[in-house]
Amino acid sequence: GDKPATVLPRVIAVPWHAVAKKVGRPPIQSYVSYAIDNWYRIDKSKDITLDNIALIQNFLAGVDEEWFTMVHVVMEAQAGPALAGAYDACVAANEQDWETVKNCLFKIAASLGQLYQTFCRMEEKCDPYIYYNRVRPYIFGTLNNPNLPDGLIYEGVEEYRGLPQKFRGETGAQSAIIPALDGALGIHHKGKIGKKKEDDVLKTYLMEMREYMPPKHRAFIEWCEEGLAVCRAPDL
């Protein structure tokens, strides 16, 4: 229909909640479900590229939705060297091995350069109008959703006691790439001028996004945030 249902039937809600508890995420479609765990390589002997992957499951089966998600998948793959470099940089910094730290920063920069080039290709096959009006409604959450002002009832889930729940929808902000690099590089999101850091809306939102990440992703971000705190590098 034109509007979403306000109650998720017991037959779906109970097992979904149980699985969500096991994987450490809320029972809502997340970035990791829709992108990171939702693709396959067409030719397994070749790299993860936009012309060598496809989605396992989508909603409309249109090229706009397929392309939108595949761009994110390729970006995640291209970020691998950057995250590995962040890890090595943290270890090297704590050992005061500044030459290795510098080399790791070059690796991070090169990796992000590739990622950015892929990101710039988004509008090649994903029209903003099609995405917003046809794709986005399927990945919108139950929090701040004008069509679900009171949230969604998960029928039969004892933990929720029959009360409607509100969760964020799928978004690239649930990726661990940037938060991990921010942590490794010592970048802190501070509050706006005249406001306390903890009152900043953007930082609050970004911290909330971690709840939708796999536990090990969250753990890596936290490790990166603590890794360079032990020993700060001098100017390189």
Return the closest-CA partner of residue 86 out of 236, 226, 235.
Answer: 226
**Using an 8 Å Cβ cutoff, are 2 and 115 in contact?**
no
pLDDT at 41: 98
pLDDT for position 200:
78
Q: Please list, in sequence order, all residues whose beta carbon lies within 8 angstroms of the beta carbon of residue 10, skipping any fewer than 6 positions away.
A: 155, 156
**Alpha-carbon span 88 to 224, nearest angstrom:** 10
- Report in angstroms the alpha-carbon separations of 233 from 22, 95, 176: 39, 10, 23
Residue 223 has pLDDT above 60, yes or no: yes
Distance CA 106, CA 88 (A): 12
Tokens 């969760």 locate to 167
CA distance 96 to 107: 18
pLDDT of 202 strictly over 50? yes
Strands annotated E in 74-170: 153-154
Q: Is the per-residue pLDDT at 235 higher than 50?
A: no
User: Distances in Å between the alpha carbon of 39 and those of 54, 61, 214, 224, 232?
Assistant: 6, 13, 17, 28, 39
Helical axes 80-94 vs 177-184, angle rounded to 10°: 20
pLDDT digits (tens, 9 = 90+) for 63-117: 999 999 999 999 999 999 999 999 999 999 989 999 999 999 999 999 999 999 9
In order, the DSSP letters of 124-135 are GT--HHHIIIII
pLDDT digit string, tens, across residues 58-78 = 988 899 999 999 999 999 999
CB 109 within 8 A of CB 135: no
Helix (H, G, I), strand (E, B) or coil at 161: coil
SS (H, E, C) 187-199: CCCCCCCCCCHHH
pLDDT of 13 over the 90 cut: yes
Residue pLDDT, tens place only, 156-199: 999 999 999 999 999 999 999 999 999 999 888 775 555 555 55
Q: Evaluate if residue 236 carries a pLDDT over 90.
A: no
| Per-residue pLDDT, 17 | 98
